[in-house]
Amino acid sequence: MRKLVYIILAGIAFIVACTKESPTPESRNPILPATVSRYDSVAGDVPFDPWDGFQVDNHKATLGRVLFYETQLSKNNRVSCGSCHKQAFGFADNLAKSIGFDNGLTKRNSQAILNAGLQEFFFHDLREEHLENMVLMPIADHVEMGLENKDYMVAKLESLPYYRNLFLQAFGDESVTVERISDGLVHFIRSMISVNSKWDIGNGVGFSNFTQEELLGKNLYFIKFPCSSCHGGDNLMGGMSAAENVGLDNWYQDKGEPGLDPVLNVTKNGWFKVPSLRNVEVTGPFMHDGRFSTLEEVVEFYNSGIQRHPQLSFMLRRGNNGGFFDLAEFNEDIIPNQETGIHPLRMAMTQEEKQALIAFMKTFTDWGFLNDNRFSDPFIRP
């Protein structure tokens, strides 16, 4: 009887263990094109360098594609980088918080991936400067993928036969190392170039491809409202990488970027990375915590919901004259005492203006990028 009980318990344990993990590695093999894909080029003429001088190696990017979708890089073989960065959603997630390997929720909303060469810092709090380090951090994160032991990371990949040729093609031999895993992911992510939206095409034809509503939205975005002050430039994210406090809350539990406020000389509270608005039509939910589900909610927040905060971005403050903040009013002796400059801007948009802004932002969507097979999951059978 005791033996029977042990057998039953062992069987239950085996079933539970199996249900927690994805299928065995032997049943997952990537389907790759016979000729290596060209990750080092992009269709059309681009008036700027989206790689920022980086030379993408096609074989390394191919390896990186497989690694990006490799569930064996999680502790229990259940999730991959692509689980939280989905192509259909601009390589963001369609959830406010993503689901990790053990069903835990991530701290923040997954950011979209594109044009990494035009960024200098990564994560919502800008805590990592080097992409080579950043790509490994989610794999080791105790919530996201849980593979903290780098030796185990290497051993898992060494046990998968299809990596032998991938590493051979990328590096000249079959050796698997953490540095090579990082390098492959970096080449793949740097190859994810999104520069063929209606907006990009319009730039080359004087926006003759735009509707009247989209043209109105463009003028609102660049002239009437301060949208382009933060979301401008080639990548629609202002400077290379920057953080701002947009007044989501009066006080933030999630502090965001560490460091001191440059004016108040107090600990920063609520500073988060300014994201690119490329593909914003599909990358919701929005904000670092995914609190807004739709672009309509986002536009209404900036129209009427910005909160009073002593560290509010200057671009979102109401000036003494009731309009946009005037830098001529800036007074370092007054602002720390909260006497002026921290009243949130109220834009008083009409319904027509709100709709036009959203129509214009939808011209940032690069449908070719969202459907490019080079960036798709190679483990999915056609």
Q: Where are the domains of the chain?
A: 48-193, 198-367
pLDDT of 1 reads: 47
The amino acid present at 191, given as its one-letter code, is S
Query: Is 198-367 in the same CATH topology as 48-193?
Result: yes
Mean predicted confidence (pLDDT) in 204-232: 96
Across the range 198-208, mean pLDDT stands at 95
Q: Any idea which residue has 């008083």 for tokens?
A: 348
CATH of 48-193, one of 1.10.10.10, 1.10.760.10, 3.40.640.10, 3.40.50.300: 1.10.760.10
pLDDT of residue 318: 84
Structural fold of domain 198-367: Cytochrome Bc1 Complex; Chain D, domain 2 (1.10.760)
Cβ-contact 203, 47 below 8 angstroms: yes
The predicted-structure confidence for 42-100, as pLDDT tens digits, reads as follows 988 899 999 999 999 999 999 999 999 999 999 999 999 999 999 999 999 999 999 99
Whether 135 has a pLDDT exceeding 80, the answer reads yes
Contact 72, 189 (CB under 8 A): no
Q: pTM score, two decimals?
A: 0.89
Q: Name the DSSP class of 222.
A: I
Query: Poorest-confidence range of 195-204, 263-272, 341-350?
Result: 341-350
Look over the chain and give the mean of its residue pLDDT values, rounded to a whole number.
89
Q: Is the pLDDT of residue 349 over 50?
A: yes
Q: Which two tokens stand for residue 319?
A: 């000036």
| Contact call for residues 144 and 105 (beta carbons, < 8 A) | no
**Between 338 and 348, residue with greater pLDDT:** 348
Can you give the pLDDT at residue 55?
A: 97
Q: How many CB atoms lie within 10 A of CB 130?
A: 12
pLDDT at 27: 61
Q: What is the DSSP string of 83-146?
A: HHSBGGGTTB-SSSS-B-TTSPBPSSPPPP---GGG-S-BSTT--B--HHHHTTHHHH-TTTT-
